Amino acid sequence: MFYYQKILRTDERINEVYMLRYKVYCDEWGFENPEDHPGGVEIDEFDECSSHFAVIRKDNDEMIGTTRIIFCSDKGFPLEGHAELDKGTFGGLDRDLVGEVSRLAVSKDYRRRYVDKVMFEFKEYNQDYEKQTTIERRKLDQEIVLNLYSCICKECMERQMTHLIAVMADGLYLLLRRIGIIFTKIGPSVDYHGPRTPYICCIDTTMKNLQRKRPEIYERFISA
């Protein structure tokens, strides 16, 4: 169905990442003002110090999802500008070994088209199918998020990083928790693209938790 790929900034497909982010953040959700992103691409100053990952369809090579991990630089982390963090959040941590997960974007247009095709092709519509469609979309969301976080964790392990930070909605936090990826709240909720809360994840703690409770996911995370 999909494959997942790290997209280098020198890769010719990096522009597809920025175009997809524009589609999701400007067109689909209205989180960003299109006038701030001319040319139909959503780019910011943190892209140059990030690793980017993409979800790509196997059948036609269409990019339908993306995320990035931002590494420490003299710019700091965007989370620090959007949220009020608890005192001592970074105490005792080597900031060079911390990364921020950011710009998680999956086209809801594709999710809708794909699941509707699976659920309704050659079938008469009824309420049972509608309920099943909702279930299938949630499964698809979880699979995409799981695999993107797998890419992120592999990148972190290669770089010997210790922690991830992120500002996220409750729904994503709960989804990650169900998977076994443990984030801890580090500040009050803020209004940033809707209600969002800042979190931190200890990579070692999460990997040990996955190994103990979700070995099938753990194996996916450590596989080459």
Q: How many CA atoms lie within 13 A of 195 on its CB side?
A: 6
For the domain that residue 65 is a member of, what is the CATH number? Answer: 3.40.630.30
Pick the residue with more confidence: 152 or 123?
152
How far apart, in Å, do the first and last CA atoms of the chain sit? 19
What is the residue-averaged pLDDT of the chain? Answer: 89
Instruction: Classify 191 in phi/psi space as left (phi over 0), alpha (psi -120 to 50) or beta.
Output: beta
Q: Which pLDDT band holds residue 109 (cuts at 50, 70, 90)?
A: confident
In tens, the pLDDT along 34-45 reads: 999 999 999 999
Taking residues 34-62, report their average pLDDT: 95
Question: Could you tell me the CA-to-CA distances from 80 to 75, 112, 127 in Å, in that order?
Answer: 10, 34, 45
Question: Could you tell me the CA-to-CA distances from 79 to 27, 40, 110, 196, 199 in Å, in that order?
Answer: 23, 24, 28, 11, 10
Give the chain's domain count.
Answer: 1
pLDDT at residue 181 tops 80: yes
Domain containing 55 equals: 2-222
Three-state secondary structure call for residue 199: strand
pLDDT at 125: 46
What is the C-alpha to C-alpha distance for residues 173 and 179, in angstroms, rounded to an integer? 10
Nearest partner of 146 among 218, 199, 204, judged by Cα:
218
pLDDT at residue 129 tops 80: no
pTM greater than 0.75: yes
